[in-house]
Amino acid sequence: MNDANLDDSLPDIDKKSKEEVVLTKTEKAIKEFKSISLIIILVLIFRSVFFEPFRIPSGSMIPTLMIGDFILVNKFSYGFKVPFSDLSIGDTNLEPKYLFGESSPIRGDVIVFKYPKDPSINYIKRVIGLPGDTIEIRSKIVYINGEPLKVTETPGKEIMADMDDKFLDYNLKFYQSETGTYKHIIQQDQDNYYKTDFEKRTIPEGSYFVMGDNRDFSYDSRFWGFVPHKNIKGRALFVWFSMIIPFGEHEFKIRPWRIGTSIH
């Protein structure tokens, strides 16, 4: 009898042990899932509120930014937002809700914003005109409130050495420009007179006039209008990596010397 009872108890112990092992594995999987989910949520909140990386796909901001630059954008430059309050995905376009510290860009800031014609697309340009300014462009000279922005021709040899191949065949000239407190380089194609003028207009309250530093190769406020403050995502800080991914006419290229370049 005693032997029989002992034999009968062994399967029960083994079954219980297996259940405990399964339960332990399930609990461990749930715990890991929760941990990973929390990390993902925290990373997304960090990107939404503090800093977000972007890649430059076009040449509209050359020579300040090159095709293939990876940049970091300060999302709280103009105030702390409620996480995900400025989200734009497909047909969903939310307006940012500021917790505190809401402020405005200054002239010359390089900003990332939601393209007004399609908020699901992010653009990067330089703020040229502020709310209430009158802006006019004549023969490629920008006038703010009747005064021309200061530009001085500057050599472009070093810039051309780092230039994206698609722009090497153009008749480019380079100018040191003063936009607000910023001093930066712009480039112009001397053979391009497609969009040289902009009729005088007053910038509406809460909106900004933006342009690319690659003046003749930038699709900006001259073509589609002003940027509402609610569309602004943040101010570009610096280049943290630079690499051209090979596609079309582009060849693979890494520019380690651009790492750490401040955007001003």
- Among all residues, which ones are annotated catalytic? 60, 125
Rounded CA separation 101/111 (Å): 18
Beta strand 150-154 with 172-179 is antiparallel
Q: How many CB atoms lie within 10 A of CB 197?
A: 12
Q: What angle do CA 56, 61, 67 make, to 5 degrees?
A: 35
Rounded CA separation 95/232 (Å): 10
Q: Say which residues have a Cβ less than 8 Å from residue 96's Cβ, sequence separation at least 6.
A: 81, 82, 85, 86, 230
Pure H helices in the chain: 2-49, 157-161, 221-224
Rounded CA separation 224/119 (Å): 13
Q: Phi and psi of 12, rounded to 5°?
A: -65, -40
Cα of 185 vs its chain's centroid, Å: 20
